[in-house]
Structure 1
């Protein structure tokens, strides 16, 4: 199957222009009850538990895709010895494969259906994870021009085909990583957000699909809840399970949890309660912010050399709904906030790819696997 084309590099000027300092209100954490943990999982998928209400990601096996779309699986299969052991830390984890415009509209239904079947391994109750990244233009180009009528129609047709491919599968779907680029549309247009709303409502209409609309990262938006709401409200958060944070950034899990709590509270204050977050932890094992980074290429920031290295990229908390586990080292108030407002820590980032988009980087993958402070599967 096709793989994504080269993505555009992160632009620090856009990072600066899309954020503003904002004081986050103190958290008020409601009491929640513990869901039962899942039964024993197949290889590569851990049992999961949750404290958030009626968490659709909890209490089921998490499928691990083992096919041609997944770069790490191909590398793992051909590796041996110590390298195979290290690559297992990536390949055998449940994670979200990205689906985008590089997959043709007349084939993406089949692509998605095959991905779902492969991920579930014969278990229709297994959770499948995916990210949808199909808006055109996007990234920096989204600040320069709006999609044509033809591009808008193609996007909607493509979304319809993806939804058909999902069918009744249990899916956690992250919608449009790097969504803050929608805020820099020319003339303040909402066309990107309108298209995201279409996708949110279409995917949420599937019987077992949980949609999480991407809202950037706490460091990207400088903890400014109002910026997040400018994405989530017009993008259809009322129809979604919740929102996603930290897709392409390396900011700390603790900070994302606090930001998630503030966003959820702000949504509830606007009459939209019960919205939960998923946080990408694939690449923030040694967290740092976008404005702390002083290297030449933020999208391909330096991989950690070893476990003692800092302000570098390495694998973070393994995918789980046990978001308040003491093993993650969160302060008690942040752990309580995670229990109340976060459905899961997921891996929907791709730090093992060059520029997070441009193909498998074997040495980078080995570096982030060797240096992670967290155990393998």
Structure 2
């Protein structure tokens, strides 16, 4: 492994000489800020490959983008043409999940098997607050495993990055201290990580959700099968700054190493943290629904929702404005900045909200 400082310099130099970017060429090229070239880090499975963009009805931002024109089209292109991690969950029946994944992969790759596709697996039932009240039934557990098996079979040898089970800390509130939810996530981590070209990142919540305590994240991740995975993912449904996540993620990697789980890396969700803030700051400044926190009104406003760093494996690029020590940590431990979060949707779930999408696209500092 390269020493940290030389590795950072190498990543920066490579990013200057490589051509291409993470966005596929489109007729809107002049409307979208050019995405950075992908650094060719030999130990980063997300680097050195074009990141596929899905263009179809399963992407809620796609139809509004196609119908738009003029300024709105240029703004919506920042969302619709970005490589994002499409969500797959229990709303897709066991008998349909394979076909849905195959259609998504074919669309996003255009038949090029070197293109990287991104997916989010959100299949656990029960989940979120319901997971704190009851455990899955025998039928639900069997369905989960069947769905995961069919999902994995459909992914096959696709080059893929998978965020596994957003809002991961909910597994820790299962009734009576049960580990059944974590064990099911670990089952998925093991099955998906066994695929030849799939990199799995188990969701660990955010730095704040773990109370800035890496030991909490380690407990969650080891129960959820991080030992099988490439690593972990941070910040999917939160808005915390990239700087905060990188610092915390590096501490978690080191804490995992202390437990004998070595070689782990992580990804950071940057879809909604262009002007990052914590849950506590949201409570004190805005109140109300955290998932639908207020969007920024201007490019200079702070502590509001807007698009963050574009999806990329070039994590230490000077354009992101990270402090030098954070850029060094990112070059060492971070595989990529991903967009699994969806701040342009109502409560980050559904439906698509045009006013919200235009706001986050208009005010992003990137």
Q: TM-score, normalised by structure 2?
A: 0.91
Establish whether residue 368 from structure 1 lines up as the match of residue 360 from structure 2: yes
Tell me the secondary structure at the aligned position of residue 223 of structure 2: coil
What's the offset of the Cα at 1:154?
0.2
Name which of 44, 47, 60 aligns with 1:58: 47
1:270 alignment partner in structure 2: 259
Q: Is the 8 A contact 1:32 1:52 kept in 2?
A: no
- Relative to structure 1, the CA distance from residue 154 to residue 148 in structure 2 (aligned partners, 3 Å threshold; closer, same or farther) is same
What's the offset of the Cα at 1:40?
2.5
Q: Is the 8 A contact 1:52 1:340 kept in 2?
A: no
Q: Distance in 2 between matches of 1:306 and 1:31?
A: 38
Tell me the secondary structure at the aligned position of residue 86 of structure 1: helix
What's the offset of the Cα at 1:51?
7.7
Name which of 337, 341, 354 aligns with 2:329: 337
**Deviation per residue, 1:315-374 (Å, 9 max, x gap):** 000111111111111111111101101000111101010000121011000000001111
Q: Distance in 2 between matches of 1:47 and 1:252?
A: 20
**Deviation per residue, 1:123-172 (Å, 9 max, x gap):** 11000001000100100000000001110010000001111111110000
Q: Name stretches of at least 5 consecutive residues in structure 2 with no aligned partner.
A: 27-33
Name which of 127, 130, 154 aligns with 1:138: 127
2:297 alignment partner in structure 1: 305
Indicate the structure with greater helix content: 2
**Deviation per residue, 1:69-118 (Å, 9 max, x gap):** 10111110011111001000100110101000000100100000000010
Q: Distance in 1 between matches of 2:315 and 2:304?
A: 23
Establish whether residue 43 from structure 1 lines up as the match of residue 25 from structure 2: yes
- Relative to structure 1, the CA distance from residue 51 to residue 293 in structure 2 (aligned partners, 3 Å threshold; closer, same or farther) is farther
Tell me the secondary structure at the aligned position of residue 343 of structure 1: strand
1:185 alignment partner in structure 2: 174
Q: Is the 8 A contact 1:49 1:59 kept in 2?
A: yes
What's the offset of the Cα at 1:39?
4.9
Tell me the secondary structure at the aligned position of residue 71 of structure 1: coil
**Deviation per residue, 1:201-253 (Å, 9 max, x gap):** 11011110100000000111121111101111111111100100000000000
2:350 alignment partner in structure 1: 358
Higher relative contact order (CA 8 A, sep 6+): 1
Q: Is the 8 A contact 1:306 1:371 kept in 2?
A: yes
Q: Name stretches of at least 5 consecutive residues in structure 1 with no aligned partner.
A: 1-27
Q: Is the 8 A contact 1:87 1:369 kept in 2?
A: yes
1:211 alignment partner in structure 2: 200
2:99 alignment partner in structure 1: 110
What's the offset of the Cα at 1:47?
5.3
Q: Distance in 1 between matches of 2:136 and 2:113?
A: 37
Q: TM-score, normalised by structure 1?
A: 0.89
What's the offset of the Cα at 1:59?
0.3
Establish whether residue 254 from structure 1 lines up as the match of residue 243 from structure 2: yes
Establish whether residue 80 from structure 1 lines up as the match of residue 38 from structure 2: no
Establish whether residue 234 from structure 1 lines up as the match of residue 226 from structure 2: no
Q: Distance in 1 between matches of 2:158 and 2:37?
A: 18
Tell me the secondary structure at the aligned position of residue 73 of structure 2: helix
Q: Distance in 1 between matches of 2:130 and 2:112?
A: 41
1:316 alignment partner in structure 2: 308
How many residues end up aligned between the 2 structures? 347
What's the offset of the Cα at 1:46?
4.0
- Relative to structure 1, the CA distance from residue 184 to residue 52 in structure 2 (aligned partners, 3 Å threshold; closer, same or farther) is farther
What's the offset of the Cα at 1:48?
3.8
**Deviation per residue, 1:175-205 (Å, 9 max, x gap):** 0000000010001100010000100011011
Q: Is the 8 A contact 2:200 2:232 kept in 1?
A: yes
Establish whether residue 70 from structure 1 lines up as the match of residue 59 from structure 2: yes
Aligned-residue RMSD, C-alpha: 1.7
Tell me the secondary structure at the aligned position of residue 61 of structure 2: helix
Matches within 5 A, 1:128-167: 128-167=117-156
**Deviation per residue, 1:290-335 (Å, 9 max, x gap):** 1111221000000111112221100000111111111111111111
